[in-house]
Amino acid sequence: MAQVQKNFGSHKALKGVDLEVREGEFFTLLGPSGCGKTTLLRIIAGLELPDSGHVFLGGRDITRLPAAKRQVNTVFQSYALFPHLNTFENVAFGLKARQTENSEVRRRVGEKLEMMSLGGLERRYPHQLSGGQKQRVALARALVNEPDILLLDEPMSALDAHLRAQVQEELRRLQRELKQTFILVTHDQDEAMVVSDRLAVMRDGLVEQVGEPREVYSKPRNQFVAEFLGAANIIAARRDGGRVMTSLGSFDLSAAPQWDEGRLAIRPERILLGQAPAGDPNWIQAKVSEAIYRGQSLDVWLAPAQGPADDYRLRVRTQSKEPLRPGDQVSLFFPPEDLVALDHA
């Protein structure tokens, strides 16, 4: 069981973060740039000191342990391959730094190169490798040391979109095979969704929410998380007994809000289109104002019959095969379990 707990107050970058990453899981730090996620990663790596707080690895306080003494390895955003060493020497660097026996170095490096399908590139220098190859060398160079934690600092940012999707899946598979702890830093929520067992959404040096991707996506804690992870309809609301009143109408929620006045969120794809008897709970009337065909789905912008403002539009993603045209009248159903009451802030 590897327990990592951090807890500090570095003046701006991180304002006090508590996190626990479990052994063998793929954990992602997700957030917009400047939210402190890279600083946090660098603190775990030992490349940065927190002003206060502690980092634990398997129950041991490693806060002040230098990077060179931590069983933690990093894949840098720039890869930071040693330009004067070839692929083999790059990957072998960490083992040689710890005076590993030559035959052992050869065996382990060979194994990792094979695993990363880098066979045959041993004698190439970094400037002779493609972006994807460089990334795999950086990965092999870190993994060959069998670290307790592998840290990945936006490793996909230098790759093109097509390659990125492929690498994400590979990374996921690799982590499953190795059963090692991976911590990834990214600002790309799709990437976080694809690879993570669990993720933490960060903003302004604080962790907003931690959980499994599915849970964080469908039950965002606040508006920031809701909007950062994909699209969301945000509706101002007021609690009225067991129901919630909004300018769109009144709704039932499966989890009643903790506040008297606040906001609700619902994902575009959770709103259902259909025909419903007027007056049923959680059904409202709306008029189509724009429909965008996206291949596997249809994005519809709807003007509700009654809303907070004239230009308020609801976003709905539907699989509906019927063509929708601007001006069409539709009924919308908001499932009680998909309407989420957001915390303030």
Partner 1 sequence: MTPGQNQPPEKQTPAHGGPPLMKPSPGEEPGPGLVTWYGGIHRQRDLRLKGSALLGPGLAWLLIFLAIPCSGLVILSFARRGDFGDIHWIWNLDNYKRLLGYGLFGWTPDHLIILGRSLLVGLVSTLICILLAYPLTFYIATRPPKTRNWLLLLLVVPFWTNVVVRTYGWLLVLSPQLPPARIAAFFGFIETGAPLFPGSFATYLGLVSTFLPFMALPLYSSLERLDWELLEAARDLYASRWQVFTQAILPQTRPGLTVGVIVTFIPAMAMFVVTDLLGGARYMLIGNLIQNQFSTSRDWPFGAALCLALMALTMIGLMLYRRWGDPRDKNEKSGGAAP
Partner 2 sequence: MNAKRPIVAAIAIGSLIFLYVPSLAVAVFSVNNARYGLTWKGFTWKWHQQLFQNEAILEAALNSLLVAGVSTAIATILGTALALGLDRFPWPRRLSTAMDLLVHLPVVTPDIILAAALVLSFNFLRGFSEIFDLGMGTLILGHITFQISFVTLVVRSRLAALGRDIDEAARDLYATGPYLFFRITLPLLMPGILAGAMLAFTLSLDDFIISFFAHGPDSVTLPIYIYSSIRRGISPEIHALSTLVLMATVILVLIAERFSRFRAAV
Residues near partner 2, by CB under 8 A: 45-47, 66-69, 72-74, 76, 78, 80-84, 93-94, 97-98, 125, 141-142, 145
Q: Are 71 and 147 in contact (CB under 8 A)?
A: yes
Listed residue (45, 57, 28, 337) closest to 210, CA to CA: 28
Question: In terms of CB distance, is 84 or 179 closer to partner 2?
Answer: 84
98 binds, among partner 2, partner 1, none (CB under 5 to 8 A by kind): partner 2
Residue 81 has a CB neighbour count (10 Å cut-off) of: 22
| Per CB under 8 A, 53 contacts partner 1 | yes
Integer angstrom CA distances of residue 220 from 107, 187, 263, 319: 47, 17, 12, 23
**Residues 7-21: b if buried by 16+ CB within 10 A, e if exposed:** bbebeebbeebebeb
CA 28 to CA 1: how far, in whole Å? Answer: 18
Distance in Å, CB of 168 to partner 2, minimum = 23
17 binds, among partner 2, partner 1, none (CB under 5 to 8 A by kind): partner 1
53 binds, among partner 2, partner 1, none (CB under 5 to 8 A by kind): partner 1
| Per CB under 8 A, 229 contacts partner 1 | no
In the region spanning residues 89 to 128, those forming contacts with partner 1, defined by CB under 8 A, are none
DSSP 243-276: EEEESS-EE--SS--SSSEEEEEE-GGGSEEE--
Q: Are 194 and 6 in contact (CB under 8 A)?
A: no
- Binding track, positions 234-273, relative to partner 1; x by CB under 8 A: ----------------------------------------
Distance in Å, CB of 102 to partner 2, minimum = 16
DSSP state of 162: H
- Binding track, positions 125-164, relative to partner 1; x by CB under 8 A: ----------------------------------------
Integer angstrom CA distances of residue 106 from 73, 111, 136, 236: 20, 8, 18, 62
143, 207, 216, 229: residue in contact with partner 1 (rule CB under 8 A)? 207
Q: Which stretch binds partner 1 (CB under 8 A): 61-69, 167-175, 248-256, 294-302?
A: 61-69
Which amino acid, residue 83? P
Question: In terms of CB distance, is 71 or 247 closer to partner 2?
Answer: 71
158, 206, 276, 305: residue in contact with partner 1 (rule CB under 8 A)? 206
CA 328 to CA 289: how far, in whole Å? Answer: 8
Considering only CA atoms, give the Rg of the chain.
Answer: 24
Q: Which stretch binds partner 1 (CB under 8 A): 13-21, 109-117, 187-195, 246-254?
A: 13-21
Distance in Å, CB of 83 to partner 2, minimum = 7
CA 319 to CA 116: how far, in whole Å? Answer: 39
DSSP state of 286: E
Distance in Å, CB of 93 to partner 2, minimum = 5
23, 47, 305, 336: residue in contact with partner 1 (rule CB under 8 A)? 47
Phi and psi torsions of 125, nearest 5°:
-95, 155
Task: Please count the helices (runs of H) and the strands (runs of E) in the chain.
Answer: 8, 18
Q: Which stretch binds partner 1 (CB under 8 A): 4-12, 109-117, 140-148, 305-313?
A: 4-12
Distance in Å, CB of 286 to partner 1, minimum = 35
* Count of residues of this chain found to bind partner 1 when the rule CB under 8 A is applied: 39
| Per CB under 8 A, 63 contacts partner 1 | yes
In the region spanning residues 16 to 45, those forming contacts with partner 1, defined by CB under 8 A, are 16-20
Integer angstrom CA distances of residue 281 from 62, 152, 275, 323: 55, 47, 13, 26
- Site of interaction with partner 1 (CB under 8 A): 3, 5, 7-11, 13, 15-20, 46-54, 56, 59, 61, 63-68, 200, 206-210, 221
